[in-house]
Each structure stands twice: as C-alpha cells, then as structure tokens.
Amino acid sequence: AQSVTQPDIHITVSEGASLELRCNYSYGATPYLFWYVQSPGQGLQLLLKYFSGDTLVQGIKGFEAEFKRSQSSFNLRKPSVHWSDAAEYFCAGPRGSTLGRLYFGRGTQLTVWP
C-alpha cells in the first residue's frame, strides 16, 4: 500500500546536537513528500516539501530533508537543535492522485534536553 512510515515514536536529543528524524515511503513512482511540525499549543505547520528535482530540500526553521530513492527515505535533519524545536513531527505523502488527500505517518515526538 502507498504510505509513509516513521519508525521512531520518540527521540530525545540535547540542545545543540544534530537531529535526524526518519521517514520511509512505499510508493511505486517518485512521490511528493512532506514534513509537518505540531508544536505544543500551535497548529500543524508545513516545514518543507519535495516534489521533484534537487533531492535536498530546505525548509523553515533551519530544517532540511533529503530524498533518497535507493533507501526509500525522506529523513528530516537539523544541524543544531534548539529547545524550541521540541514538538511532534509528521512525515506525509499522497494518498491517491490528489495532494489534498495526504497519508500521514504516526509522528515522532522530539524532546530536547537543555
């Protein structure tokens, strides 16, 4: 089935450390892929998206993600995590042919230690 999977339910990192959140996809063709963040007390926000072309995508808040076809992955990265990055992160891909209909992963909760 076409879907995305986030293998890690919870990740803890120290402030200033680097971060990588995993997302694996199962689509036949190159999919459109997205990362969203849900911060405490705030609505879900689009961090970045990959449609085609350059496999390294830059997003807001200093995040980036790399599309790797060979590994069927679209991992989210940040070189140096800030305490304000503590949130839940969702990877998403299309469900069917319309982008409005997205399949979201179960999310990865990020805790940042001071």
* Minimum CB–partner distance for residue 104 and another protein (Å): 4
Task: Give 70 or 98: the residue with its C-beta nearer to another protein.
Answer: 98
Site of interaction with another protein (CB under 8 A): 32, 34, 36, 42-46, 49, 90, 92, 95-96, 98-107
Task: Give 11 or 15: the residue with its C-beta nearer to another protein.
Answer: 11
d(CA 68, CA 71): 6
Q: Which two tokens stand for residue 90?
A: 């969702």
Single out the residue of 23, 4, 9, 25 nearest to residue 111, CA to CA: 9
Single out the residue of 18, 40, 41, 8 nearest to residue 107, CA to CA: 8
* Minimum CB–partner distance for residue 15 and another protein (Å): 27
Task: Give 41 or 114: the residue with its C-beta nearer to another protein.
Answer: 41
